[in-house]
Structure formats: C-alpha cells, structure tokens
Amino acid sequence: MAAVADRMIKRRKEHGLTQAALAQKSGVSLGSVRRFEQLHEISFGSLVNIAFALNCERDFDALFSQPYYETIDDVANAARRDGRRA
C-alpha cells in the first residue's frame, strides 16, 4: 500500500492538486486523503474515487487480471483449455 500511496502522491502533484483539492475533486474526505498518504490506509471505494479524480481509473483494469499458475503443467493445462498450444 505504501507504493500505491507514493504513486498517488506523485499523480496528485502532477495534476497540481493539494490534498484538500484532491479531497474536494474526489469526494473523499481530507482526513482520508491524509491518512492514505501518511499511514497508507484507505477504503477501496475511496481509492477508486481518487483514481477517477486523477484520471487513473484504467489502472484498475489489470487488477486480478492475470491467472495464477503454480506449475508449468498448470500453464499447459490452461493453454489446452483455451485451445492454444503450450
């Protein structure tokens, strides 16, 4: 979460927004913005609202998008299920 918070701070500054301005634009309380930047704690809903305010909503497209493979056999089995060659 610290890395996500650091990237959010960078985006906020790139947009020239103060914490208060981001809070207002996103509809997230100033306290929540500060808590995320300092303690790296935030609700998922607030994080999504901030992402939209910073035009970063597409970053969520990759969340949980990659399948988990434990072994090379898992990769081969998934390829067969999808009709591909492994």
Instruction: List, for residues 40-85, the tens digit of each pLDDT value.
Output: 999 999 999 999 999 999 998 888 888 888 899 988 888 888 776 5
Q: Report whether 46 contacts 34 (CB < 8 A).
A: no
Q: Report whether 17 contacts 33 (CB < 8 A).
A: no
Distance CA 48, CA 57 (A): 7
Query: Is pLDDT at 29 greater than 80 in this prediction?
Result: yes
Cα angle for residues 43, 46, 51 (degrees, 5° grid): 125
* Band of residue 26 on the pLDDT scale cut at 50, 70, 90: very high
> 61 by DSSP, 3-state: which?
helix
Question: Mean pLDDT across the stretch 24-39?
Answer: 98
Taking the complete model, does pTM exceed 0.85, yes or no? no
> 27 by DSSP, 3-state: which?
coil
